[in-house]
Amino acid sequence: MFRYLLFIATALISSNIIQAQKILSEGTIVYDITVQTGSKEPQLADMFDGVTTTLYLKGSQSRIEMISPLGATITLQDAKSNTGVVLKEYGNQKLLIHMAKEDWGDLNKKYAGITFTTQNETKNIAGYACQKAIAKLKDGTSFTVFYTKELVTENKDYDYQFKNLPGLPLEYESSVGNLKVKYTASKITFDPVPVQKFSIPVSGYRELTYQESTKLKGN
């Protein structure tokens, strides 16, 4: 009898957790970007203050925009085919970089083998309860991330570094050059996203393969 009651209780708890979760199959998440204190390049840090990164999701399609006074980087990816493009618009230079499945792996190779260790600290971000975790990379470096289990995405492959995170990241740290920056979700909507958001431009850009873009970066 006790085992039966325990089974029922466990099933009810699991059911409540599933019901509490919202599935974001289509919508938008806006992350505010702030530069961590102690930067040795205050002028560059000031340029990043107030900048946002916007994630658009629609089924297997994703679009990540990072727009700053310096320019814009836009990543378009189809999780089904694992292909897409990266658009870079800085000054008069407009590049369209074609990405194949193996290219995403090379671009994100520093996140291969990343592990997450959950901590006891919690906080509320954009209306969702979040748990702290420490991410550790294979090179020994680490960063902090706060994730929620109350909201899950249908497309779990939109950001390689968080594929194994047991929830949706709503605050995390990263490095941009010599700067340490923090991304914090400020707005989450479930509004439909126009299909045009995921269209690849057909003109106006210099087209490169991923391999060509890496050589260009090295010059």
131-177 tens-digit pLDDT: 999 999 999 999 999 999 999 998 988 999 998 899 999 999 987 66
pTM of the model: 0.85
Q: Does any domain span residue 122?
A: yes
Q: Does any domain span residue 16?
A: no
26: nearest Cα among 51, 63, 53, 52: 63
Percent over 70 (pLDDT), the chain: 82
Q: Does any domain span residue 2?
A: no
Q: Does any domain span residue 84?
A: yes
DSSP output for the chain: -HHHHHHHHHHHHHHHHHHH-EEESEEEEEEEEEEPTT-S-HHHHHHHTT-EEEEEEETTEEEEEEEETTEEEEEEEETTTTEEEEEEEETTEEEEEEE-HHHHHHHTGGGTT-EEEEEEEEEEETTEEEEEEEEE-TTS-EEEEEEESSEEES-TTSSGGGTT-SSEEEEEEEEETTEEEEEEEEEEE-----GGGGPPP-SSSEEEEHHHHHHHHH-
pLDDT digits (tens, 9 = 90+) for 43-78: 556 666 668 899 999 999 999 999 888 889 999 999
Q: Does any domain span residue 7?
A: no
Q: What is the number of domains present in the chain?
A: 1
Mean pLDDT of 70-96: 93
Domain holding 84, by residue range, is 22-218
Q: Does any domain span residue 96?
A: yes
Q: Does any domain span residue 207?
A: yes
CATH assignment of the domain containing 173: 2.50.20.10
Percent over 90 (pLDDT), the chain: 66
Q: Does any domain span residue 4?
A: no
